[in-house]
Amino acid sequence: MLILECPYCGVKAEETELHAGGEAHLKRFGPGSTDGEFHDYLFMRENPKGVHFERWRHANGCGKWFHAARCTMTLEVFGTYSAQTFEPPQEIRDAITAKRPGWTWRDLK
Amino acid sequence: MSDPVSALNGARFDGIASVEEAGLCGMITLRGDFASAGFAAAVNSITGAALPEVGRIAEGTEGAAAWMSTDELLLMVPYAEVEARLAALNEALKGEHALAVNASDARAVFRISGDGARETLAKVAPVDLSAEAFQPGDFRRSRMAQVAGAFWLNGEGTFTVVCFRSVGEYVFKLLSASAHPQSAVGIYKA
C-alpha cells in the first residue's frame, strides 16, 4: 500500500484516498509547435525502474493536486511537494541523492 | 412553501454505537483567500468562530467553521437562518475574492455516539481514529467505503458525519452495518 503525505493538508493518505495523475513536470506543446514536439508531449512517457516523479490528487480529501517522488521498484517515497512548481525542489533532490546516488530522470540528476 | 425534510427523516440505529441522522443543518461552502484579514473577519461575523487551523474545526458562538482545503471552509449555521447568514456573509465579503454558496440541501448529516463510535467509523474510513491520533476538534475529509465524506469529533466523543444527500441512505446503511451489535472488534479501548 502506497502512503503519501499530502503537502496541503498534512494528511498521510493511503492509496484509496488518492488519484494518480501520471507523469510530473510535463511541458505542454500545443498550437504552433511542431508535429514532433506535439507527438512527444502526447505520447512519450518515462517508464523507469527506480526514481520517478508523479502527479497525484488528494481526491477523497482536500482535492488538491500535488507532486510525489518515489521509487517504482521498492515503492519507497522520497517526498511530496507542491504542484505549483516546474521542477522538484532541492530538498527532494537531496533526499533522493542520499538514497539513490547517481539517479537520473529525464534531464534531471 | 413546502416543509424542508432531511434525507432520511431522522433515521436511527443502535448497536455498538448509535447512528442517527442529525436532521437539517445549515451549511455554507465558502472559498477564498485565508490570508486576507477581511475574509477572516467575515467568517467570524457569521459564525463567531476564528479561522480553523489545518484539519480542524473551529466552534464559534453562532456556528462553526471547518477546514476543507487550503482555500475552502465549511460554515455550519442553524438551518432556519442559513439564507439570512449567507446574505450577511456576502455583504461582509464585499471586495474580497471569495465565493459562498448555500449547500444545506445537498447534504446529509449523521451523528455517531457511544463507546463504539471510533470503531464504527474506523471500519469504513481509511483514517487512524485512535484516541491519540484523532482528537476532539479534528476534522477530516476522507471516504467512507465507496463515497466521499467528512467527519469531526466533539468533546463528548460524538462524531458528526457529513456526506452528499444523494448517498445519504447508502452511508446510513453502511454505518448501521458497521455498528452491528455483534460486530465489535475492540481495537480502541475506551
d(CA B78, CA B177): 30
Closest residue in B to A60 (Cα) is B142
Q: Residue B55 and residue A14: Cβ atoms within 8 Å? A: no
At residue B170, the 3 state secondary structure works out as helix
For residue B163, list its beta bridge partners: B108, B149
| Residue closest to B22 by CA, chosen among B83, B140, B149, B108 | B108
- Cα A4 to chain centroid, rounded: 12
- The mean pLDDT value of chain A amounts to 93
d(CA B148, CA A16): 11
**Chain B residues with beta carbon closer than 8 angstroms to that of A2:** none
* pLDDT band at residue B190 under the 50/70/90 scheme: low
Evaluate whether B12-23+106-178 and B26-105 have a shared fold. Answer: no
What pLDDT was estimated at residue B126? 94
* pLDDT band at residue B2 under the 50/70/90 scheme: confident
Q: Is the pLDDT of residue A109 over 90?
A: no
Q: Is the pLDDT of residue B1 over 70?
A: no
Q: What is the mean pLDDT of residues A56-85?
A: 94
A3 touches chain B (CB under 8 A): no
Cα dihedral across residues B75, B81, B82, B85: positive or negative = negative
Phi, psi of B59, rounded to the nearest 5 degrees: -85, 140
Q: Residue B55 and residue A10: Cβ atoms within 8 Å? A: yes
Q: Cell match 416543509: residue? A: B3
CATH topology (fold) of B12-23+106-178: Gyrase A; domain 2 (3.30.1360)
The count of CB pairs under 8 A between chains A and B is: 34
Lowest mean pLDDT among A92-96, B5-9, B80-84, B106-110: B5-9
Q: Domain map of chain B by residue range?
A: 12-23+106-178, 26-105
What pLDDT was estimated at residue B143? 94
Residue type, A7: P
Question: What residues contact residue B152 under an 8 Å CB cut-off, 6+ apart?
Answer: B57, B66, B137, B138, B139, B140, B159, B160
For the beta carbon of residue B101, count every other beta carbon within 10 angstroms. 12
Higher per-residue confidence, B104 vs B189: B104
- The mean pLDDT value of chain B amounts to 93
CATH ID of A3-85, from 3.30.360.10, 3.30.460.10, 2.60.40.350, 3.30.2270.10: 3.30.2270.10
Tell me: the pLDDT tens digits for B19-73?
999 999 999 999 999 999 999 999 999 999 999 999 999 999 889 999 999 999 9
Q: Residue A8 and residue B140: Cβ atoms within 8 Å? A: no
Compute the C-alpha angle B14/B171/B62, nearest 5°.
85
For the beta carbon of residue A87, count every other beta carbon within 10 angstroms. 14
Q: Cell match 494518480: residue? A: A20
* Percent of chain B surpassing pLDDT 90: 88
Lowest mean pLDDT among B3-7, B15-19, B57-61, B166-170: B3-7
d(CA B55, CA A61): 10
Q: Which of A11, A19, A65 is the best substitution to test chain B (most B C-beta atoms within 10 A)?
A: A11
Q: Domain map of chain A by residue range?
A: 3-85
Strands (DSSP E) found in chain A: 3-5, 12-14, 19-23, 51-57, 65-71, 77-82
What pLDDT was estimated at residue A96? 93
> B26-105 in CATH: which number?
3.30.70.1520
Q: Residue B126 and residue A8: Cβ atoms within 8 Å? A: no
Residue B163's H or E segment, with its range, is strand B159-164
Q: Residue B70 and residue A14: Cβ atoms within 8 Å? A: no
ipTM: 0.84
Question: What residues contact residue B105 under an 8 Å CB cut-off, 6+ apart?
Answer: B4, B165
Q: Is the pLDDT of residue B138 over 80?
A: yes
- Cα A34 to chain centroid, rounded: 26
Question: What residues contact residue B143 under an 8 Å CB cut-off, 6+ apart?
Answer: A16, A17, A60, B125, B126, B149
Q: What is the mean pLDDT of residues A6-23?
A: 93
Question: What residues contact residue B132 under an 8 Å CB cut-off, 6+ apart?
Answer: none
Residue B120's H or E segment, with its range, is helix B117-122
Question: Under a CB-based contact definition with an 8 Å cutoff, are residues A4 and A13 in contact?
Answer: yes
d(CA B105, CA B87): 17
Residues of B with CB under 8 A from a CB of A: 54-55, 67-70, 72, 126, 140-143, 148
- To the nearest whole Å, the CA of A60 is away from the closest chain B CA by 5
Question: Under a CB-based contact definition with an 8 Å cutoff, are residues A46 and A105 in contact?
Answer: yes
d(CA A89, CA A73): 22
